[in-house]
Amino acid sequence: MSDAPQDKVTVLSAEALAQLKSFPLHGDERLQNKLLWKSPNGDTIVGLIQMAPGARDVGHNHPSATQHTWVIDGTVSIGGVEATAGSYAFVPPGVDHETIAGDEPVTMFYLYQPFAPEHDHDHDH
C-alpha cells in the first residue's frame, strides 16, 4: 500500500484489506501488523495491528514520535489504561507503554508519526 499513487484517492475494500500480507510485530506471531501506508521518507506509518487473546507487546517507547491508536475490536490495556472497541489512545514521545490484549482478539488502527515541535499550520483558526 505504501506504493499507492500520491495523486489520487486510494480505497481498499474489506476484501483487499483481508488479503494484505501481515507480518509479526517484534517477531511475535501473536502480534500481526498490516502496513497500510508509509510516507515516502518512511517516517510516518499507518497500519492495523491484530493481537491474539492475551498477547503482549512488551513495554517500549518512541523517543521522537507520537503514536495514535484506535481500538476497532476487543479490549486492550495500553500503558496500563483499558481501552475498549471505539476507544482512542495517544502516546506522546518518550512515554513507556506496554500493550496487552484482553480475553478476545484485538484489532487496532494506528498512526506512528515523528514528533515535530512546530507545525506548518495553525489549526485553531
pLDDT tens digit string along 74-112?
A: 999 998 999 999 999 998 888 887 899 999 999 999 998
Residues 6+ apart with CB under 8 A from 69: 78, 83, 88, 89, 90, 91, 108, 109, 110, 111
Element (H, E) at 37: strand 28-38
pLDDT given at position 65: 78
**Banded model confidence at residue 116, pLDDT cuts 50, 70, 90:** low
How far apart CA 24 and CA 96 sit, in angstroms, is: 21
**Banded model confidence at residue 66, pLDDT cuts 50, 70, 90:** confident
pLDDT given at position 102: 96
pLDDT given at position 3: 59
Element (H, E) at 18: helix 14-19
pLDDT given at position 122: 40
Of 117, 122, 109, the C-alpha closest to 92 is 117
pLDDT given at position 87: 97
pLDDT given at position 124: 43
Of 101, 99, 105, 46, the C-alpha closest to 73 is 105
